[in-house]
């Protein structure tokens, strides 16, 4: 089976001496930093290796982001060491129970109905939407000091509370310089205690969404990240292992399909969740799923695959054996864009619908992310 983001932190935990699976055969130093570069796809890095020679030169292997290839799901899979079927953050947005029947929860922003809707943290506490124990909690229980090098706003965000859960020392990082500075602070200590840090940098993803992956603006951000990593590799002590990865790759949209403008696609549909590359479609009458699927298949021929919930569960798109609560979050239909098509809902998602770069689906450009290892050993590479 190919490795996924969910394998990374169990491998880190095993390197700290915990009795968990280390399928990545990772050996680390005293301290470990996992730096997530949002939107760092393996295929994009390979195509632009001349822009990022340091990153490209330290790739130990590529792993799958997991389905769907989107930030909320990827961060949860990384932090929990488990797929979506286990942690339940099954996409950018998905349905949750509501007194009126169901409502969309935007898991990235932790808001209701849309990315700019009401704050959902009181009505849908993150710790109840995602109930599992994170690998960071396991590390803390094992005596490892946990640190976060992330933007200040993420400290109490719904997604942070849902995915990471462990208390830790915050090193606020609003830009790349502060990310690198925070990593240096974590690594440079003389005590015998071991440290783990999760660090995050969002700007590559933002540049890809706004200008397109591979655009000059995107390449400028990638070059800056590479220079920062090159400096880190010079500065970090030998006691620290730096792991760099991404949560997804990205494609440039070439065909935009407006779901709001096609009345046939709204017939018998209650809610449309997910994002432009993977849609959860929730129906007024689930027993009519086959008829609605036929309409969507005809309307989107050549642009999307339409699958019913039972097919998705049987084929384990989100992972094996979700419980009833998580099963209910999966759309009656799951619609996955093909090629470089996107399925937009501009009435509710004006900002997202105007983006040039997108991700979420099952192409290599979206799914594959690099695992970059510096200051440790990736033993499987030598086998």
* N-term to C-term CA, the chain: 16
How confident is the model at residue 376, as a pLDDT? 59
Q: pLDDT (tens digit, 0 to 9) for every residue of the chain, 383 residues total?
A: 689 999 999 999 999 999 888 889 888 999 999 999 999 999 999 999 999 999 999 999 999 999 999 999 999 999 999 999 999 999 999 999 999 889 999 999 999 999 999 999 999 999 999 999 999 999 999 999 999 999 999 989 999 999 999 999 999 999 999 999 999 999 999 888 999 999 999 999 999 999 999 999 999 999 999 999 999 999 999 999 999 999 999 999 999 999 999 999 999 999 999 999 999 999 999 999 999 999 999 999 999 999 999 999 999 999 999 999 999 999 999 999 999 999 999 999 999 999 999 999 999 999 999 999 998 554 434 33
**Are residues 223 and 351 both part of a single domain?**
no
> The domain spanning residue 245 has which CATH number?
3.40.720.10
Residue 287 corresponds to which tokens in the numbers above? 């027993």
* Nearest-angstrom CA–CA distance, 362 and 35: 24
**Are residues 170 and 285 both part of a single domain?**
no
**Are residues 153 and 213 both part of a single domain?**
yes
**Are residues 78 and 175 both part of a single domain?**
yes
How confident is the model at residue 176, as a pLDDT? 98
**Are residues 335 and 264 both part of a single domain?**
yes
Instruction: Report whether 218 contacts 211 (CB < 8 A).
Output: yes
Please provide residue 343's backbone torsions phi and psi, each rounded to the nearest 5 degrees. -115, 100
**Are residues 314 and 372 both part of a single domain?**
no
**Are residues 322 and 174 both part of a single domain?**
no
How confident is the model at residue 381, as a pLDDT? 43
**Are residues 159 and 245 both part of a single domain?**
yes
By DSSP bridging, strand 341-344 and strand 255-258 are parallel
Asked, for residue 112, whether it belongs to a domain, the answer is: no
Asked, for residue 114, whether it belongs to a domain, the answer is: no
Alpha-carbon separation of residue 242 from 35, 146, 178, 225, 229 (angstroms): 7, 15, 16, 14, 9
**Are residues 236 and 283 both part of a single domain?**
no
How confident is the model at residue 380, as a pLDDT? 38
Asked, for residue 24, whether it belongs to a domain, the answer is: yes
**Are residues 235 and 326 both part of a single domain?**
no
How confident is the model at residue 1, as a pLDDT? 67
Beta carbons within 8 Å of 166's beta carbon, 6+ residues apart: 134, 136, 137, 139, 140, 146
3-state helix, strand, coil in the chain (%, to 5): 35, 25, 40
Asked, for residue 317, whether it belongs to a domain, the answer is: yes
**Are residues 331 and 376 both part of a single domain?**
no
Would you give the DSSP letter of residue 134?
Answer: P
> The domain spanning residue 324 has which CATH number?
3.30.1360.180
**Are residues 135 and 230 both part of a single domain?**
yes
Asked, for residue 121, whether it belongs to a domain, the answer is: no
The three-class DSSP label of residue 82 is: coil
As for how many domains the chain has, the answer is: 2
Asked, for residue 211, whether it belongs to a domain, the answer is: yes
Asked, for residue 340, whether it belongs to a domain, the answer is: yes
Q: Which domain holds residue 342?
A: 255-357
Instruction: Report whether 149 contacts 242 (CB < 8 A).
Output: no
Asked, for residue 154, whether it belongs to a domain, the answer is: yes
pTM for the complete prediction?
Answer: 0.96
What residues are paired with 200 via a beta bridge? 36
């Amino acid at each position: 089976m190919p490795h996924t983001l969910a394998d990374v932190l169990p491998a880190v935990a095993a390197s700290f001496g915990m009795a968990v699976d280390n399928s990545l055969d990772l050996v680390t130093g005293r301290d470990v930093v996992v730096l997530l570069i949002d939107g760092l796809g393996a295929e994009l890095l390979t195509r632009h290796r001349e822009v990022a020679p340091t990153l490209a030169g330290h790739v130990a292997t590529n792993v799958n982001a997991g389905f769907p290839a989107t930030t909320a799901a990827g961060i949860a899979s990384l932090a929990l060491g488990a797929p979506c079927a286990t942690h339940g953050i099954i996409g950018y947005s998905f349905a949750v129970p509501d007194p009126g029947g169901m409502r969309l929860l935007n898991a990235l922003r932790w808001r209701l109905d849309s990315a700019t809707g009401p704050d959902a943290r009181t009505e849908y506490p993150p710790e109840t939407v995602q109930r599992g124990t994170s690998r960071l909690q396991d590390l803390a229980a094992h005596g490892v000091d946990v640190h976060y090098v992330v933007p200040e706003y993420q400290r109490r965000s719904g997604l942070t509370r849902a995915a990471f859960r462990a208390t830790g020392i915050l090193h606020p990082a609003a830009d790349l310089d502060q990310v690198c500075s925070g990593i240096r602070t974590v690594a440079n200590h003389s005590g015998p205690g071991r440290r783990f840090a999760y660090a995050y940098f969002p700007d590559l993803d933002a540049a890809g969404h706004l200008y397109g992956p591979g655009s000059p603006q995107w390449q400028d951000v990638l070059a800056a990240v590479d220079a920062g990593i090159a400096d880190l590799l010079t500065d970090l002590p030998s006691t620290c292992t730096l792991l760099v990865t991404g949560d997804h790759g990205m494609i440039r949209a070439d065909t935009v399909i407006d779901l709001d403008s096609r009345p046939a696609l709204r017939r018998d549909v209650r809610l449309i969740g997910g994002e432009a590359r993977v849609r959860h479609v929730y129906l007024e009458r689930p027993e009519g799923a086959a008829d609605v699927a036929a309409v969507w298949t005809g309307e989107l021929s050549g642009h999307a695959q339409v699958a019913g919930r039972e097919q998705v569960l049987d084929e384990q798109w989100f992972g094996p054996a979700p419980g009833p609560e998580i099963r209910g979050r999966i759309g009656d239909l799951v619609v996955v864009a093909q090629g470089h098509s996107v399925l937009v809902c501009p009435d509710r998602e004006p900002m997202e619908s105007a983006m040039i770069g997108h991700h979420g689906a099952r192409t290599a450009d979206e799914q594959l992310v690099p695992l970059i290892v510096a200051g440790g050993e990736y033993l499987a590479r030598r086998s």
